[in-house]
Amino acid sequence: MDQYIVYILASRSRVLYVGITSKLKERVWQHRTKVIRGFTAKYNVERLVHFETFNDPFRAIEREKQLKGWRRSRKIELIEAANPHGATCTKKSDSPRRHRGPSLRSG
């Protein structure tokens, strides 16, 4: 069964980006290595700070739209509530080619 992940990336200067994917590690790697030009490459948005997993693609899309509609302050509250220390959810060394491990979540 496919899983769909809604995720939030942040830059060191706290620029936020909300996206959706079915391959989170690969997508984060693409953002970090800037293989796709665009918003995240331009603003160095590469730190995975929040993600949610869905089995239903329509619910995932609905959640992505919901998060994109939120004010920045509300997104930051969501991130800080689930990730109070501001740690990234992945390591810099994580890439789809080099690392095949369990879920990105710890604990």
With respect to residue 12, please indicate whether it lies within any of the assigned structural domains: yes
pTM: 0.80
Listing DSSP states for the chain in one string gives: ---EEEEEEE-TT--EEEEEES-HHHHHHHHHHT-S-SHHHHTT--EEEEEEEESSHHHHHHHHHHHHHS-HHHHHHHHHHH-TT---SS-TT--TTT---S-S---
With respect to residue 97, please indicate whether it lies within any of the assigned structural domains: no
The per-residue pLDDT for 95 is 46
Print pLDDT tens along the chain (107 aa).
789 999 999 999 989 999 999 999 999 999 999 998 999 999 999 999 999 999 999 999 999 999 999 999 999 999 999 877 766 666 555 544 433 333 333 33
With respect to residue 93, please indicate whether it lies within any of the assigned structural domains: no
With respect to residue 94, please indicate whether it lies within any of the assigned structural domains: no
CATH code for the domain in which residue 17 is found:
3.40.1440.10
How many structural domains compose the chain? 1
Residue 35 domain boundaries? 4-82
